[in-house]
Amino acid sequence: MPEAETMVKVFARPTSLNEKHFTYCPGCDHGLITRLVAGAIDKLGVQERTVFIAPVGCAVFAYEWFRCDGIQASHGRAAAVATGLKRANPDLVVISYQGDGDLAAIGTAETIHAANRGEAITVIFVNNQIYGMTGGQMAPTTLPGQRATSCPEGRDVATMGHPLPVAEMIATLAAPAYVTRQSLHDPRHVAQAAKAIEKALRYQVEGKGYSLVEILATCPTGWRMPPAVAHQHVADVVTGAFPLGDLVDRG
């Protein structure tokens, strides 16, 4: 490699990721979010204090990809597991990584109460508007009219309810330090999301308390869209239903 002498590496794999390959489908935003979380762990230098909690969902293997301690939680209970870890050992940096079925359907109670207690944890909420892992069923965040395998005619809000505005709900609580909604549909938004994750983790390290980073993500497989088209759909449609930005920042 003759260029080696004149060229420097400007983008490398985060050191807190190990060498294992992600198990996500091609073009799935889960991979990007996993990488951003690892980048934030690197940046804050907390790899040796971090416990990564994987949910039940497509990220079920994610605890295996970090050079950090990891644990697999039952479906929806990651916020309770995070609470137990953090209360038992406040020196740990605890990251709960959850999908929308996991966090906003089966785990709604744990989510709200952990936030309301201001548990000093960082919650990464992957809102892909679908149950990816089980084959594309309707999620609490599925958009009105959006088709899923369990709402083949599209979500009818009259009988199936409206998309659950998780970040807005959590933002009504008094305790959270940081609540934000981010997207990954272009490099600028990826960079912003990276900063948001880093801030959320920093607030935990600084003892400021609970953070929730909701990230609008794609599920190319469940949406039946090519990855680039899925990102365009996020830009054109999803961000309209789920507005981006910081909702709470008590840093």
Partner 1 sequence: MAERQLMTGNEAMAEAAIRAGLRAYFGYPITPQNEVLEYMAAHLPQAGGAFLQAESEVAAINMCYGAAAAGVRAMTSSSSPGVSLKMEGISYLAGADLPCVILNAARGGPGLGNIAPAQGDYFQATKGGGHGDYRLIVLAPSTGQEAAELAGLAFDLSDRYRVPALILADGMLGQMMEPVTLPPPRDPGTLPPKPWALTGAKGREPNLIASFALEPTVLREINVKRYARYREIEAREVRWEEVATEDAEVLLIAYGTMGRIAKTVVRRGRERGVKVGLLRPITLWPFPYAPIRTLAERVKAILTVELSAGQMWEDVRLAVEGRTATPFYGELGGVVPTPSDILQEVLRYA
Partner 2 sequence: MPKGKVVVDRERCKGCGLCVAVCPFGVLDLSKDYNSSGYAVVTAVHPEACTGCALCAQTCPDVAIEVYREKAAAGTPTRGAGRP
Taking CB under 8 A as the criterion, the residue among 156, 186, 206, 236 binding partner 2 is 186
Total count of residues recorded for the chain: 251
Residue of 118, 111, 57, 37 whose CA lies nearest to 80: 111
* Both tokens assigned to 144: 């009105």
14 binds, among ligand SF4, partner 1, partner 2, none (CB under 5 to 8 A by kind): partner 2
Instruction: Report the site for partner 1 in 142-201 (rule: CB under 8 A).
Output: none
Instruction: Report the site for ligand TPP in 169-188 (rule: CB under 6 A).
Output: none
Q: What phi-psi label fits residue 243: left (phi over 0), alpha (psi between -120 and 50 degrees) or beta? A: beta
Minimum distance from residue 222 beta carbon to ligand TPP (Å):
7
Three-state secondary structure call for residue 114: helix
The number of CA neighbours under 13 Å toward the Cβ of 6 is 2
| 140 near partner 2, judged by CB under 8 A | no
Q: Which stretch binds Mg ion (CB under 5 A): 39-47, 82-90, 106-114, 120-128?
A: 120-128
d(CA 251, CA 237): 31
| 68 near partner 2, judged by CB under 8 A | no
**Phi/psi of residue 93, nearest 5 degrees:** -100, 115
Binding site for ligand TPP (CB under 6 A): 56-59, 75, 99-102, 126, 128, 130-134, 139
Binding site for partner 2 (CB under 8 A): 3, 6-15, 17, 21-22, 24-32, 35-36, 38-40, 42-43, 186-187, 190-191, 194-195, 198, 220, 226-228, 231
